[in-house]
Structure 1
Amino acid sequence: MAIERICNAVYATSGPWLNLARSRHDLTDSGADRARWVAWITALTPPERSVNPDYTHMCVLVGQAKDMLVALLQTLPPCPSVVSVAAGIERRIRRDELTPGTRIRRPALAKELRVPEGHVDLALADLAARGLVEIRASGHAVVTTMERAS
């Protein structure tokens, strides 16, 4: 009963922000960014029929609401888009400022670019889909050789 009340409070709290989340989804050109907005919008849209949530569901729901609200705050203007962050990283790769085999240090790059680390993560996911970087099992991103990326 208490868990259900908490879940309903999360839906009520995050509900007013879902339209803004939908607009962020519609405005992004990044596949990785679009996927995270879809996941949050889906998770935070109240179910049509009553469900009996458990403790794990409640904890995940609270975490998703927090993550979405933080992302909305971080994407307020003048924050650059994920696509522009990816373009900046790609320029560095093409200019050999980031050479093949180089491990990309996400926190340092985010600080240097003055963007949230999440933007760097999403940009790297987009670049990995294009073959410019490889996301290793350890989670580290490494610049690939240009032959593989072409």
Structure 2
Amino acid sequence: IHARTSCRHARTSCRHARTSCRHARTSCRHARTSCRHARTSCRHARTSCRHARTSCRHARTSCRHARTSCRHARTSCRHARTSCRHARTSCRHARISCRHACTSCRHARTSCRHATDILSSGPAVFLPPNLKCFTVQNTESVLLAC
């Protein structure tokens, strides 16, 4: 009786041991799967970190280039403003010169008209119609009429 009871207990213990072993193998398999997933996640995280560093470096380079372009644009704008100011000054000077020339021309026309009046009141002379300027000589002097 004792031997049978001991044998039954031994079989029960063996069954429990097999169940425990099976559970342990399942736990080990799950642990290996979790470890593999963790390694994959770690690798992905390292890749993401590397990509982020590369993107950051590219962004810094782009920012530096943008700052340089902005500086060049500001310089070009300043030069353009200076050129515009010089052009305005030249235009103003040209207008003043033109005004002076017009005044001189008006004075010359007035002088010419006066000279023509003086000549027409004197002796008759031949004045070619196709000439703008002509020389008239009378007994006293030589006049240039325009």
Give the alignment's TM-score, normalised by structure 1: 0.24
Give the alignment's TM-score, normalised by structure 2: 0.24
Name the one with the larger helix percent: 2
